[in-house]
Amino acid sequence: MVEDKELKRGINLPIAIFIIIGMVIGAGIWVSPAAYLSRTGPAIFISYLIAVIPAIFVAYLVAYVGSAFPVAGGTYVITSRLLGGFGGFMTVWLVILAVGSAIAFLAATLGVFIGQALGIPPESELLFVLIVGISALVIFYLLNWIKVEISGLIELILTIVGDVLVMVIFIIAAIPHFNPSNFEPLFPIGLGPVMFAGLTFFFSYTGFTLILDVAGEIKNPKKNIPRALLISMVTLTILYVLQALMVAGIQPWDSPVGTVTEILILGGILPPEIIMVMIVLISIAIASTIHPSYMAYSRDILVAAREQMFPKVFTKVNKKHKTPRPALTLLLVVGIFLLVTIIPLLEPSYGIETAGVLLSAVTATVVLMLQIPLSLAVFILPKKFPEWHEKAGFKPASWALKTMGILGSVTSLIFVLLLFTDPDAGLIIALVIFPFAAVGAIVYLFRRNTLKKRGINIKEMMKTLPESVSLEEGAPGKVERLAKEK
Mean residue pLDDT of the chain comes to: 81
The backbone torsions φ and ψ at residue 351, rounded to the nearest 5 degrees and listed phi first, read 90, 160
Number of residues in the chain = 486
Which DSSP letter does residue 313 get?
G
The neighbour count for residue 114, using CB atoms within 10 Å, is 20
State which CATH number among 1.20.1740.10, 3.60.15.10, 3.30.70.1350, 3.40.50.150 fits the domain covering 2-481: 1.20.1740.10
Phi, psi of 426 (to 5 degrees): -60, -40
19 confidence band (pLDDT: 50, 70, 90): confident
All residues at 6 or more sequence positions from 352 whose CB lies less than 8 Å from its CB, including other chains: 108, 111, 112, 125, 126, 129, 343
Instruction: Please state, as a whole number, how many other Cβ atoms lie within 10 Å of the Cβ of residue 231.
Output: 17
Smallest CA-to-CA distance from 289 within 105, 93, 60, 62 is with 105
Residue 2's beta-bridge partner residues? 317
Give the CA radius of gyration of the chain: 22
pLDDT tens-digit series, residues 332-367:
999 999 999 999 999 898 888 778 878 888 887 888
* Residues whose CB is less than 8 angstroms from the CB of residue 53 and which lie 6 or more positions away in sequence, other chains included: 198
Q: Give the whole-angstrom CA distance, residue 234 versus residue 277.
A: 27
* Range 292-314 average pLDDT: 84
Alpha-carbon torsion 100, 469, 444, 434, what sign? negative
pLDDT band at 165 (very low <50, low <70, confident <90, very high): confident
Quote the DSSP letter at residue 316. Answer: E
Q: 88 versus 208: which is more confidently predicted?
A: 88
Give the Cα separation of 346 and 301 in Å (integer): 29
Nearest CA-CA partner of 302 in 40, 96, 53, 443: 96
Q: How is the chain split into domains, by residue range?
A: 2-481
Distance in angstroms (rounded) separating the CA atoms of residues 30 and 282: 8
Distance CA 291, CA 21 (A): 12
pLDDT single digits (tens) 382-435:
888 888 888 777 788 889 889 989 998 888 888 788 777 777 778 888 889 999
DSSP-H helix ranges across 251-324:
260-267, 272-306
| Confidence (pTM) | 0.78
Distances in Å between the alpha carbon of 281 and those of 55, 58, 336? Answer: 26, 29, 24
Task: Evaluate if residue 261 carries a pLDDT over 90.
Answer: no
What is the percent of the chain with per-residue pLDDT over 70, rounded to a whole number? Answer: 85
Q: Hey, which of 68-82, 271-285, 340-354, 355-369 has the most confident mean pLDDT?
A: 340-354
Statement: residue 213 has pLDDT above 70: no
Q: How far is CA 321 from the centre of its chain?
A: 24
Say how far residue 351 (Cα) sits from the centre of its chain. 24
Question: Residue 466, SS3?
Answer: coil
Q: What is the mean pLDDT of residues 45-61?
A: 86
User: Is the preceding omega at residue 185 within 30 degrees of 0, hence cis?
Assistant: yes
Residue 216 has pLDDT above 70, yes or no: no
